[in-house]
Amino acid sequence: MRDLAAGRRRRIKEINVKHITIPHFDGLKLETMLMYAAMVPEVMESLPTVEREREKLPRPYLANLIYTIVGEPFKKWVEAKVNERHELRRQQEDTIQMDPEIAAAFNQS
């Protein structure tokens, strides 16, 4: 409360909170979102000062906090991470491994 009163912490009213849904992909883990948040001083003002406490925050809370403060650039960053993941999956789907007998039967059909 002292930091809030002194202006070192930022308070966001519930009515102003924007909600975003973040899929559970490798590129969108809590740690990655915290690295993104570290680049935005306004977001860091709203997070706990102790790093261990930040690491225990729920993913949806952190995502909504960043989205509320940053807005559309954060949403585009999330979309870029999702597209990255989809492109990687598409590349992996092009090369599948299967038993040689099954592959031969598949190729003959």
pLDDT at residue 69 greater than cutoff 80: yes
- Per this entry, what is the length of the chain? 109
Confidence of residue 5 (pLDDT cuts 50, 70, 90): very low
Q: What would the pLDDT profile of 21-64 be if each residue is shown by its tens digit?
A: 888 888 889 999 999 999 999 888 888 888 888 889 999 999 99
pLDDT at residue 2 greater than cutoff 60: no
Answering whether pTM is above 0.85, one says no
What is the enclosing helix (H) or strand (E) of 10? none
Give the residue from 65, 79, 5 showing the smallest Cα distance to 30.
65
C-alpha separations of 82 from 40, 62, 85 in Å: 21, 17, 5
What are the domain boundaries of the chain? 2-108
Confidence of residue 103 (pLDDT cuts 50, 70, 90): confident
d(CA 12, CA 18): 11
